Amino acid sequence: MDISIAILKIAMHGAKKTHIVYNANLNSTIANKYLSTLEEKELIERKENIFITTDKGRAYEEIASGLKIR
């Protein structure tokens, strides 16, 4: 869950996959799995090669931060 929240925060204003991998301290394979899952859950969307946190993803991140789940 911590990784998902980190990815959502990084992509809040748009981020390339390399930026997400570097800032979330992930390798490419693991990042691909998380990004796919977040896309399936509609928490993040891809526009060309940029990932952007959706409104649903922002709400999810705010709730998780408010509960201090991370």
pLDDT at residue 70, as a whole number = 44
pTM of the model: 0.89
Rounded CA separation 70/64 (Å):
7
Tell me what pLDDT residue 1 has.
78
Q: Give Cα separations from 48 to 15, 31, 54, 59, 65 (angstroms).
A: 11, 17, 15, 23, 29
pLDDT at 28: 95
Q: What is the pLDDT of residue 66?
A: 79
Q: Whole-number mean pLDDT of the chain? A: 93
Q: Tens digit of pLDDT for each residue in 20-40? A: 999 999 999 999 999 999 999
As beta bridge partners, residue 46 has 51
Does residue 67 have a pLDDT over 90?
Answer: no
The answer to whether the beta carbons of residues 45 and 52 sit under 8 Å apart is yes
- How many independent structural domains does the chain possess? 1
Range of the domain at 7: 2-67
